[in-house]
Amino acid sequence: MSVPQEDEPRGAPGAARGDARGDPAAPASRERAGASPAGTAAGSSRGGGRDRAGSAAGDAAGPAGAASGTGAAPAEPAGGSPSAPAAYWRGRRLGAPPSGPGSLAGYGARLGAFCTDLVLSALVASLFTAPELPRNWSLVAFLAEYVVFGAAFGQTPGMRLFGLRLIRVDRPARVGVPRILVRTSLLVLLVPALVWDADGRGLHERFSQTAVVRTGGTAR
């Protein structure tokens, strides 16, 4: 009487027999399957290391590249290229234009007007002192001419000849007798009139808050 034999599992013995028969495909596939996670981890580790190293090198080279001109260009200031400095002319801070009527008169025209008024004052004084020389009477005539014509018309005969006019710089109004007296008294001393500021105004004009401007005539 024969005892029935149990069926043995086919998968495992078959694999074992395959191994025993020296089948090279089975161990190799298992090695590849087993090594795949480790290889992936190693590759990820090496790749991540290279990425971090590259990122750090890029960060370190960024400022150096920008400084040497090979990196990113520096940002320009808002509004594009920096604007050129504003031009300056005599009388700009007083609100006077750079040229034409209303601009501050030049030294040549002012000197010509001053000499003209001196000659006229001497001629007027000589009418009263002839045949003697006018001497100090010419100075009295000069003061009278400046005060009367300056307060009444804003310009002396010499200023009118050279296209000049006397104005106030604090507000648009007539110069007035008090300011004319202060200005003329300091002008006669000569020295205050030779101490100029950046606008070409002497001390006699700064103390009286006046200025000599062009009227569109022959002044230069």
Whether the pLDDT of residue 125 is over 60: the answer is yes
Decide if pLDDT at 29 tops 50: no
Write the pLDDT tens digit of every residue in 132-179. 888 899 999 999 999 999 999 999 999 999 999 999 998 888 898 999
Per-residue model confidence (pLDDT) at position 171: 85
Q: Which of 85 and 104 is assigned the larger pLDDT?
A: 104
pLDDT of residue 95: 86
Give the pLDDT of residue 91: 81
Indicate the pTM of the whole model: 0.58
More confident residue, 112 or 1: 112
Report pLDDT for 172: 86
Average pLDDT over residues 16-44: 43
Q: Mean pLDDT across the chain, nearest whole number?
A: 72
Higher pLDDT, 180 or 8: 180
212 phi/psi in degrees, rounded to 5: -105, 125
Mean pLDDT of 117-131: 93
pLDDT of 34 reads 42
Q: What is the mean pLDDT of residues 43-48?
A: 46
- pLDDT of 96 reads 87
Q: Is 75 left (phi over 0), alpha (psi -120 to 50) or beta?
A: beta
Residue 30 has pLDDT above 70, yes or no: no
What does the pLDDT read at residue 55? 45
